[in-house]
Chain A
Amino acid sequence: MTPEEIQGIFFVECEESLAAAEQGLAQCKAGTQEADTINAIFRAVHSIKGGAGAFGYEALQAFTHVFETLLSDVRENLVPLTPTLIDLLLRALDVLADHVTAARESGTAPEDAALLRELEGAMANAVGQACAAAPTAPEPIASPPFDDEDELTSDFDLDMMLNDLAAAPPIDEAMAAEAPDGWQVHLRPHAGAMRNGGEPILLLRELVALGAECRECDISAVPSLDDFDPHQGYLGWTYIVPDDVSESAVRDIFDFVGDDCPIAMGPGATIPPTQIDKPKAAPVIAAAPLAAVAPSPVAKPVAAPAVAVPAAPSVEAAAEPAVQASNPAPGSAPPAAPAPGQSIRIDLIKLDKLIDTVGELVIAQAMLAQRLQTEGIQSNEELTLLEGLTRDIQESAMSIRAQPIGSVFSRVPRILRELASSTGKHVNLQLVGETTELDKTVIERLGEPLTHLIRNAVDHGIEKPEDRLAAGKSAEGTLTLAAEHRSGRILIRIADDGAGINRARVLAKAVEKGLVAPDAQLSKEDIDNLIFAPGFSTAATITNVSGRGVGMDVVRQNVKDLGGRITIESEEGKGTTFTLTLPLTLAISDGMIVKVGDQTLVIPLTHVVESLRPDPKDVQGLGANRQMLNVRGRFIPVVSVGDAVGAHDAINMPHEGVLIVVDTESAGQAALLVDNIWDQRQFVIKSLDTHYRNVDGVAGATILGDGRVALILNVDTLVASAVARGMGLEAA
C-alpha cells in the first residue's frame, strides 16, 4: 500500500468521523444524546487529529487539538453542554470539515482564528488553557542513532547475558572517576523493570549499541542461592558512554521503565541503591508516581547525583495498581457500549467484479430455464431451488454495495445552517427513513441534486419569518426529507411547508422566455414542470443561494442519469414536494424488450411514459415522410426505430405496430414505432465501448434469456437525431 493510498483511507475516515460527529451533535441538539454520544464525538475529532499529525497537516492538527480539548472538557463534565455551546461545536465542526477539504485538496486552510478564540474561551479553564492549548507538536527529542540495529535484535541467550555481566573486571574507583574518553551512567533495574513485559537486558544491549562499555557490575546485593528470587533486581551497572552520545539519547532508552530502573549520570554519581522486595511479597511493585529521575541540567559534566530513590514501602505501593486498574481511563468507552457490526473494507473494483459476475449468473440461470422449457422439462424442483438461490445471491451482492441514505442526509444540517445565516430563514429538519439503503454510486451522485433541491426549497419555497407569521404559520419553516423503498425502487421526498409554486409567475416567466406560447393551455402539472426547463429561473433577483447558474434542469438531468425520475406536487400556500424515484442499483435496470423487424432491442423503462396501439386516424402525415401522433390532443413526432437502427422487415405503418411514448431530455416526448413488445424484465448493462466502440443511439448491450445479445437504445440521442432529420419541424 502506498502512502498516497493510506492518505486516501485517512480522508475516507475523516468523512466518516465528520458524519459521526455531526450525528452526535445533532442528537445533543435534539436532546436525545446518550452516555456514549459525547464520547463518539470526541473519538471522531480525536481520530482526525491523529491522522492529521501523522500526515503532516499542521493547520488541521492544530484546529482539531483545540476542538478536542474543549470536547474533552465537556466529556469530563467540566463544561456544561448548553445550547450555545452545541451551536459553537456545530460551527467548529463546519470549519473542521473545511479544514479536511483544504487538506485533501491542498487548498488554503479556512480562517479559524476567531473561532479558535471562541473555543478556547469556552474551555473549563479558559485563561490557563490558552497556554496548554498549544498544538502538541512532537517533542524535538533526537532519536537515538543506532549504529548496529542487529545487535539489539539478537536472540536472548545466556552466553550473551554472561558476557554482558562480565564485560569488564571491576576497576579502581579513582580510575573510574577520571573516565577519560566518555561519561558515566549508573543504573540499577528494580523488580518493576521486569513487570509488564519489560526486559532490562534489552535496554543494556541498546546502551551497548550506542557505543557504551560496561565499566562495573555491582553484584554485592546478590544473595545466596537459597534466598535468590529470579523476579528481583540484584544487579547494578556503570557504563562508560562515548562523548558524542547525548544524555537525552541515553535517557530515551530508559524512558519506558521510568523509576523502575533509576539511572544516574556524571562523575559524582554512583550506582543507585537496591530495592529488594521481601521474598514472596506481592509479585509486582508499583511505580511510585513521579518520583522520577530529575530533569537533568543542560551541562552534562555537572549533572547532579540526580536520583531520588522511591522509598515507599512495597506493601503500600502494591495497593495502587488495583485502584488504577479498576479505573482504566476516565471517559474511555464503557465495554458495554453498543457493538457496531464488524466490517471490512473492500476495493470497489473487486466488488463490482462480483456484481458483474452475479449479473452473468442471473442471465445464465434464465438461459437454463428457457432451455429446459424448450426441452419440455418445465417445472422441476432443482430449477426452482436454483432460481431462489440466484435471487438471494443477487440481492446479497447488491446489498454489499448498498449504504444507508443517512450519509447523504447527514450533510443537510450544515447546508441548512449556512442557508439560515445567509437568508435569515431558520428551518427545522425532519428526517424519515435514514436507514433506507441504496447503491453507493447512487448515493454519491445523489448529493448534488439533493443539495440543490434543498437550497431551492429554502430559497424559493419557504417564506421569510414575517411572511410566515402573517400567513398564520410558525416562524420557522419545516423541511422533510424522507426515503423509502417501494416496489424495487427508492422514493426520496423533499417537502417544504412554504408558499408553494406561484404558477402565475412561473407561466409568465416561461412565456417571457419563449418556452411556451402565450395562449398555451397548460395544466397545473405542466406549469409546475416548466421549472425543469433549461434556462428557467424564477428568483426575482439571483441570489447566491440557488442562483449559481445551475438550474432545476440540471437537477432533473442528474436524476435521469441515475435512471430516476423527479416529480413535483405543489399546493399554493401549503408547500411543495419533490419526489425522486431512483433505482436501487445502477448495475441492473428495468427495460422493455421490443421486436423491430429482425432485431430485438431494449428500451430503458425510465423513459417510457406509455405504450399504445394507435387508431389510424390518430397518426397524421406531416410533409413527405414524417408522421405525428395525436396523444389526447397533443401532437408528438413518431420515430421509426426500424429506420433508425436499420432493421429488416420492420413494420412501418404506425397502426400496424405498437407506439411507445417516451420522455427525452432534449426533444420532448416522442412515439417510438416498434413491431411489438416482447417482454419487460431486468437487464444487466454491458458497456459497448469497452468491447467495441461507442455507437450513437445505443446505450449498451445486454444478454437475453436465450443467450442472444440485444442492444439497449439510448432514447435521448436516438430521438434527437431522428427529430433533427425531420426537416426542422417541431412538435407543437
Chain B
Amino acid sequence: MSKTTRILTVDDSASMRALLNHALTSQGFDVAQAEDGEVALEWLALNEVDVVITDINMPRLDGFGLIEKLRAGNRHRDRPILVLTTESSEEKKTRARSAGATGWIVKPFDPEKLVAAVRRVAH
C-alpha cells in the first residue's frame, strides 16, 4: 500500500494495549494508544487515523459510547471501527453492529486474525 495504515487502539488494560501494539506494529501498522473512550475522543479530535480498535468494557466512556459519539460526528461517520469482544455469539455481533461497529475481534485474539480483520476494513 502506498502509505502506512494508522490505527488507534483503545483499551483500559495496558497489557492488552501492549499486545495489540506488538501484533500490529510488527506488521508495519502505525499504532497509537488510548486508555479509554474519553482519551480516544480527545486524541481523535486532533489526529487522523484509518482504523479504530476499541475494547467495550472501559471506565469513563466505554467502547459503544465511543462509537456512538464518533458516528454522530461527520469526521468519523465512515471510519472503520473494530470492537474487541470476548464472545462471538450472534447476539453480541448484532449488538456490535447496531452500535455502529464495522467489525469485531474476538479476545483472546490470534495476531494473524487481528491483522486480517484490520485489512478487511482498512479503506
Contacts and interface: CB of A to CB of B under 8 A. Distances in A.
Interface in A143-197: 143-144, 146, 149-150, 152-156, 196-197
Contacts of A328: 62, 64-65, 68, 99
A292 B80 CA distance: 22
B28 to A, nearest CB: 10
Interface stretch (A46-54, A96-104, A348-356): A46-54
A146 B64 CA distance: 31
B32 interface: no
Given A43-B12, A325-B68, A329-B64, A149 B119 contact: yes
Interface in B72-102: 78-81, 86-88, 90, 93-95, 97-102
A333 interface: yes
A286 B109 CA distance: 28
Interface stretch (A298-306, A336-344, A482-490): A336-344
A325 B100 CA distance: 9
B16 interface: yes
A54 B15 contact: yes
B44 interface: no
B9 interface: no
Contacts of B15: 6-7, 9-10, 13, 51, 54
A53 B12 contact: no
Interface residues of A, number: 64
Given A198-B121, A335-B61, A54 B103 contact: no
A173 B68 CA distance: 45
Contacts of B86: 46, 49-50, 53, 136
A13 B14 contact: yes
Interface in B38-89: 38-39, 56-62, 64-65, 68, 71, 78-81, 86-88
B79 A287 contact: no
Given A153-B1, A197-B78, A333 B98 contact: no
A337 B104 CA distance: 26
B120 A196 contact: no
Contacts of A46: 57, 86
B56 A329 contact: yes
B122 A340 contact: no
Given A50-B16, A196-B81, A335-B60, A1 B99 contact: no
Contact of A153 (B57, B80, B99, B122): B122
A47 B12 contact: yes
A138 B106 CA distance: 8
Contacts of A149: 119
Contacts of B87: 136
B99 A9 contact: no
Contacts of B61: 333, 335
Nearest to A52: B108
Given A1-B21, A340-B59, A156 B103 contact: no
A205 B96 CA distance: 24
A574 B96 CA distance: 61
Given A1-B21, A47-B13, A332 B57 contact: yes
Nearest to A206: B120
A139 B117 CA distance: 16
Nearest to B14: A9
Interface string A614-636: 00000000000000000000000
Interface residues of B, number: 59
A143 B112 contact: yes
A206 B61 CA distance: 34
A678 interface: no
A342 B59 CA distance: 12
B108 A138 contact: yes
A337 B60 contact: yes
Given A10-B15, A287-B94, A342-B39, A256 B120 contact: yes
Contact of B22 (A3, A198, A206, A333): A3
A154 B1 contact: yes
B120 A155 contact: no
A202 B15 CA distance: 31
A203 B117 CA distance: 11
A329 B99 CA distance: 9
A118 interface: no
B86 to A, nearest CB: 6
Nearest to A48: B13
B22 A1 contact: yes
Contact of A53 (B98, B104, B108, B112): B108
Contacts of A725: none
A321 interface: yes
A56 B107 CA distance: 11
B24 to A, nearest CB: 12
Contacts of A321: 98, 100
Interface string A283-300: 000110110100000000
A679 interface: no
A706 interface: no
Given A156-B123, A335-B60, A287 B81 contact: no
Nearest to B18: A6
A61 B113 CA distance: 21
B111 to A, nearest CB: 10
A554 to B, nearest CB: 35
Nearest to B84: A50
Contacts of A49: 86
A155 B2 contact: yes
A345 B17 CA distance: 13
A156 B123 CA distance: 7
A146 B81 CA distance: 22
A253 interface: yes
A724 B80 CA distance: 77
A325 B106 contact: no
A256 B103 contact: yes
Given A51-B13, A153-B5, A154-B1, 12 more contacts: A1-B21, A146-B116, A153-B122, A155-B1, A202-B120, A202-B122, A320-B98, A329-B62, A332-B57, A333-B62, A335-B65, A345-B14
Interface of B: 1-2, 5, 12-16, 18-19, 21-22, 35, 38-39, 56-62, 64-65, 68, 71, 78-81, 86-88, 90, 93-95, 97-104, 106-110, 112-113, 116-117, 119-123
13 contacts: A9-B15, A149-B119, A196-B71, A196-B81, A202-B123, A256-B97, A256-B104, A256-B120, A290-B94, A320-B98, A325-B100, A332-B57, A333-B59
